[in-house]
Amino acid sequence: MCGIVGYVGQKQAAPILLHGLGKLEYRGYDSAGLAVREGEEITVVKAKGRLAELSNKTADGQAVPGNCGIGHTRWATHGEPSEINAHPHVSDGNFVVGVHNGIIENYQELREKLLNHGYKFYSQTDTEVAVKLVDYYYKKYLGTPIDAINHAQVRIRGSYALALMFKDYPNEIYAARKDSPMIIGTTEDGSFLGSDVPAILNYTRNVYYVGDMEVARLTASDVTFFNLDGDQIEKEQKVIEWDAESAEKGGFEHFMMKEIHEQPKAVQDTLSAYLKDGHADLSAAELDTEILKNIERMYIVACGSAYHVGMVGKYVIESMADIPVEVDLASEFRYRDPKLVKNSIVIIISQSGETADSLAALRLAKKKGIPTLAIVNVVGSSIARDADHVMYTYAGPEISVATTKAYSAQLIAVDLIALAAAAAKEVISDEREAELVKALQALPEQIEKVIENKERLQWFTSKFANEKDAFFIGRGIDYAIGLEGSLKMKEISYIHSEAYAAGELKHGTISLIEEGTLVIGIMTQDALFEKTRSNMVEVKSRGAYLMALTENGHYSIEDTADFVVYIPKTEPYFAPSLAVIPLQLMGYYLSLARGLDVDKPRNLAKSVTVE
Ligand code: F6R
């Protein structure tokens, strides 16, 4: 939620800030702003709406001179999207200028305190409170910016990534964070700051991750870090492996379509990282046979699509490895005082590694003394850093707000966990293990084949561009796939859709079926095929228009369904990796046919760092 950038160096800052904000627009896009400093002068420019408005207002940054600046693209939390609420916010006289990502929970209390000390507020944001709190401590103790920020950090509750400039300290940017992402990049002629890797990838791959409640001071030539006591600390520089090109559209009209096409590679790269000599090998996550053998229960906790991966994981792990699995939404898990049994593991799944609820769930599990495993895509993210074990997915940077390739890589991660645990517990034979590994290895090519048929889906989908509702039905793993298909459809096409366990329809939802209502039956599991077919016949007799999604060979479904999409045959466990592709494409084409912003659907943000 919200993206922040900063630059201090030899070059003109504003164009660099705008470029970085462009890469972070997926994090929020209801308003944007920047502050650039030239000598004593600090210029602040803000605009409501997309980043293009800010670019126009600043002549692509050329109209704002200076070599040191900070910028922000906003996803509103406190206060409506407006120019006044857009960042940067400033203290009177521009003593302190700041941008912020996150939520300051006690901002009302801090606001009251500052009002009592004569401060005035012009916006409804918690950010203005943070900036003025720093200003207050700066003036009260007459110390350094580091002291002032640290005093403020001690008082602020909530999550934040702050980038600040101080009038008295030209050519310096200060940064601090707690539970919101921030990275700092260095080059020979300047220092960069961003909420996420794509913001700085064009300039450098050498980065530092700012730790919770640490402060960084950026100058043109170096970056220095301080702890909460104000003491200087050493940090290790890391190298980002992602290349800049993989964060660009590469000839596709939208990031989402590009990322759909990158799924064979995401799956292949994730498989390659954990398949060694024909076995699932989780030693990179420090999970050896001994640890896996002793796990008696797994808890999978995640949000949104990652939660849907968890739903698939439950079916796969329980059946393949004979381990009971509970799946929870992170926002529920963290507040329900979960009873976690001994010899268990909590698995947090998150693309960004920054989702606030998932991070809180991870910390709760750790507090309860249960080992944690994070399945994460973004290297060095908060969840990756806090978890006891980390299994990275290798999807590369995902820019489109609606996840596709990260979801597919997460599916592979849970499949590999199931396989590794099944082998460790010796509940599958060597022959069976070999068959499963072979099926996993075939997936990248099979996904490629499914994508090749996209035109047929485009033709079909465009007929439903004006649909009001759609229903996805399936049983078992197919129900879990339906959940993801339904989310893909509604989040980017704004068509209301729901996923139902096919057997549940008769308990209420079937009354919503009218003449022509689109019902998508997912039928990849042989054992449940006929059961779901019966449910499809039930809705058809009430007027539904039926699409079936099934494996090659189930041609008899053409007697029941109006339109059929076939996917290649695979092991039933791995069918989600193939079946999700047509559903992602349907969401994409519906959004396109309705003329919507595919990559940046309304009200959403890629990284949900607020609860
Ligand atoms: C939907 C989508 C979201 C995310 C969810 C969790 O397309 O992308 O539902 O899956 O916000 O995000 P991460 O995986 O970053 O924790």
pLDDT confidence band for 471 (50 / 70 / 90): very high
Distance of CA 355 to the CA centre of its chain: 7
Q: Is the CB of 484 under 6 A from ligand 1?
A: no
pLDDT of residue 553: 94
DSSP strand pairing (206-209 vs 545-551): unpaired
**Contact assessment for residue 220 and residue 190, using Cβ atoms and an 8 Å cutoff:** yes
Q: How confident is the model at residue 243 (pLDDT cuts 50, 70, 90)?
A: low
Q: What is the pLDDT of residue 26?
A: 74
For residue 304 and ligand 1, the question of a CB distance below 6 A is answered with: yes
Q: What is the pLDDT of residues 512-531, one digit of tens each?
A: 999 999 999 999 999 999 99
Q: What is the identity of the amino acid at 146?
A: I
Least confident piece of the model among 113-127, 252-266, 597-611: 597-611
Q: Which long-range contacts (C-beta less than 8 Å, at least 24 apart) are formed by 135-140? A: 135/91, 135/92, 135/95, 135/96, 138/95, 138/96, 138/166, 139/95
Q: What is the mean pLDDT of the chain?
A: 94
The predicted structure's pLDDT at residue 224? 98
Which whole number is the average pLDDT over 350-370? Answer: 95
Read off the pLDDT of residues 26-57 as tens digits, 9 standing for 90 and up.
Answer: 777 789 999 999 988 999 999 998 899 999 99
| Those residues with Cβ within 8 angstroms of residue 138's Cβ, 6 or more apart along the chain or in another chain | 95, 96, 145, 147, 148, 166
Q: Helix crossing, 575-593 with 430-452: angle to 10°?
A: 20
| Distance from the alpha carbon of residue 451 to the mean position of ligand 1, in angstroms | 22
Ligand 1 pocket mutation pick from 255, 303, 309, 357 by most atoms within 8 angstroms of CB? 303
The rounded distance, in Å, linking the Cα atoms of 227 and 205 is 24
Tokens in use for 389?
């074990």
Poorest-pLDDT segment among 77-86, 286-295, 311-320, 461-470 = 77-86
Q: What was the pLDDT predicted at 220?
A: 97
The pLDDT tens digits of the residues spanning 312-346 come to 999 999 999 999 999 999 999 999 999 999 999 99
pLDDT at 480 over 90: yes
The pLDDT score that the predictor gives to residue 381 is 85
List active site positions: 2, 606
Q: What is the pLDDT of residue 246?
A: 63
pLDDT of residue 242 exceeding 80, the answer is no
Q: Whose CA is nearest to atom 3 of ligand 1?
A: 304
Asked whether 580 lines ligand 1 (CB < 6 A), one says no
Is the pLDDT reported for residue 378 higher than 90? no
> H-type helices in 334-404, by residue range?
356-367, 382-386
Tell me, what's the pLDDT at 609? 73
pLDDT for the residue numbered 1? 65
Residue 44: which H helix or E strand, with range?
A: strand 41-48
**pLDDT band at residue 607, thresholds of 50, 70 and 90?**
confident
| pLDDT for the residue 380 | 79
**Does the C-beta of 525 come closer than 6 Å to ligand 1?**
no
> Residue 425 is inside which H or E element, if any?
none
- Alpha-carbon dihedral sign for residues 174, 178, 179, 185: positive
H helix intervals, 25-125:
51-57, 107-116
Nearest CA owner, ligand 1 atom 1: 402
Is residue 493 over pLDDT 90? Answer: yes
CA atoms of 228 and 161, how far apart (whole Å): 15
Does 608 contact ligand 1 (Cβ within 6 A)? yes
Helix pair 405-424, 304-321: axis angle to 10 deg:
20
Residue 78, classified by CB atoms within 10 Å of its CB into exposed (0-12), middle (13-18) or buried (19+), is: middle
Q: Whose CA is nearest to atom 11 of ligand 1?
A: 304
Cβ–ligand 1 distance for 196 under 6 Å, the answer no
Distance 189 CA to ligand 1 centre (A): 36
Task: Give residue 216's identity as a one-letter amino acid code.
Answer: A
Whether 77 is in the pocket of ligand 1, judged by its Cβ within 6 Å, is no
Percent of the chain whose predicted confidence (pLDDT) is above 90: 85
User: If you average pLDDT over residues 73-89, what whole number do you get?
Assistant: 87
User: Predicted confidence band at 227 (pLDDT cuts at 50, 70, 90)?
Assistant: very high
| pTM exceeds 0.75, yes or no | yes
- The pLDDT of residue 433 is above 90: yes
The span from the CA of 535 to the CA of 527, in Å, is: 15
Rounded distance from Cα 62 to ligand 1 centre (Å): 36
Please give the backbone phi and psi of residue 342, each rounded to the nearest 5 degrees, phi first. Answer: -65, 165
Mutate which of 263, 608, 609 to test ligand 1's pocket (most atoms within 8 Å of Cβ)? 608
Atom of ligand 1 nearest to the CA of 351: 14
Q: What is the pLDDT of residues 268-297, one digit of tens each?
A: 999 999 999 999 999 999 999 999 999 999
Q: Which residues pair with 32 in a beta bridge?
A: 47, 73
- Is 601's C-beta closer than 6 angstroms to any atom of ligand 1? no
User: Is pLDDT above 70 for 247?
Assistant: no
What pLDDT sits at residue 476? 96
Cβ within 8 Å of residue 493, ≥6 positions away: 587, 590, 591, 594, 596
Residue 374 has pLDDT above 90, yes or no: yes
